[in-house]
């Protein structure tokens, strides 16, 4: 992981759903936007 300094953790309802490490900031930013696009509209029971 020392070679991959950019770490992302996606959580839903305070619980980790996905995580990953990337070596380059543009790759991590791309993955972040991809995850938000895929998971950004997830409904969490009890949150509304």
Q: What is the pLDDT of residues 1-48, one digit of tens each?
A: 567 899 999 888 888 988 999 999 999 999 888 888 776 666 666 655
Tell whether 21 is covered by a domain.
yes
Tell whether 46 is covered by a domain.
no
Tell whether 25 is covered by a domain.
yes
Say how far apart CA 35 and CA 11 lie, in whole Å: 11
Residue 11: predicted pLDDT: 86
Domains contained in the chain, number: 1
The sign of the CA dihedral 34, 29, 13, 18 is: positive
Residue 7: predicted pLDDT: 94
Residue 45: predicted pLDDT: 65
Query: How far from each other are the two terminal CA atoms of the chain, in whole angstroms?
Result: 37
42 close to 12: Cβ distance less than 8 angstroms: yes
Tell whether 37 is covered by a domain.
yes
State which residues form the domain around 37. Answer: 6-41
Residue 20: predicted pLDDT: 93
């Amino acid at each position: 992981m020392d070679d991959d300094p950019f770490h992302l953790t996606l959580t839903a309802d305070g619980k980790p759903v996905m995580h990953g490490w990337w070596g380059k900031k543009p790759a991590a930013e791309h993955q972040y936007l991809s995850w938000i696009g895929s998971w950004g509209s997830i409904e969490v029971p009890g949150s509304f």
